[in-house]
Amino acid sequence: MNFGISPGNQAVSQITIGGHGMTARILTWGATLQDLRLDGYENPLVIGFTNFQDYLDHSQYHGVIAGRVINRLGGARAIIDGVEHRLASNQSGGHMLHGGTVGYGARDWRLVDRSAMHVTLALTDPDGSMGFPGTVETRCRYSLIEGPSLRSDLMATSDRPTLLNLGHHSYFNLDGSDDICAHHLAISADRYLPTDGDCLPTGEIAPVAGTTFDFRHKRAVAGDYDHNFCVADKRRRLTPVAELSSPRSGVSMGLLTTEPGLQFYTGQGLSGGGSCLGDLRNAANAALCLEPQMWPDAPNHRHFPSIALTPDDSYHQISQFVFSHNPT
């Protein structure tokens, strides 16, 4: 289905997949998850806009695959293979956020293949794009599998040493309410990364014990967060890291990932603009993000897991969102 025309004058396609008790709609623009539905539950599970223009005017990375480097890079600079590279700054303070002014979430991806229950999209990111060296070939595969689950496979290679840290950036709301403060959340992390006034990691790796960052036991969200939780020290096998639920709707979402970091953002910066599917709101705290990724600003903190990608390596992130519905 044609969903609009991108700034690059490319037709934006909307692809619908369904199976195992779920339906998802994917846009070629930004490899965006526009809509996600669970059989037996009426509301969308993510904030998605009803028309393409709202993605251009109001999106704050809604449902996109963010890259070449998700999250923040302090000073929009990095040493790559011994050479300093100045990167595109798109955040106050002169930093880079989610890959710069034209990151992967604001690009035309190509449709590679599809079936009833999966779709694969591809993006070629050229050498020098947003200041990064190397041409990167990226693929994103969304699949609906048993669970019911939405699985995302993010794969990439580069022809030169570069940086790569991809991530899925949906805003989740599991009960259709005006805010997610009463959602309950558990995160399997005993450490997190404190941040400065620009939301950049200070470099400290702090224990969650005795703080408001302790989600080792499920509790109400109740607060504003935009922090990385350290669920591991390196990429590993697919492992459960978080569970989100709404007592109001009885909908729960488990999250498994291969990534060592999980950015938890409570959407306090959402603008309120745009027309959303299912009459969900796009206002502050109307939804939250759980973004599997490597730790943010890693090139500026040598003790963080590296996000370097060389021609000898290949990148493969797997994240899986598992849903259930137990109405009271």
Quick check: helix, strand or coil at residue 294? coil
CA distance 57 to 230: 33
CA distance 234 to 232: 6
Q: Over the range 132-142, which residues count as b (16 or more CB within 10 Å of their CB) and which as e?
A: bbbbbebbbbb
Residues annotated as catalytic are: 169, 291
CA distance 106 to 108: 7
| Spatial CB neighbours of 128, under 8 Å, sequence gap ≥ 6 | none
What would the 3-class secondary structure string for 194-235 be?
CECCCCCECCCCEECCCCCCCCCCCEECCCCCEEEEECCCCC
CA torsion sign, 273 to 277 to 281 to 284?
Answer: negative
Quick check: helix, strand or coil at residue 130? helix
Token pair for residue 169? 């950036």
Strands 162-163 and 308-309, by their bridges, are: antiparallel
CA distance 11 to 129: 22
Residues in the chain: 328
Match 């965006």 to its residue by tokens: 32
Q: What is the dihedral of CA 299, 120, 32, 290, to 10 degrees?
A: -50
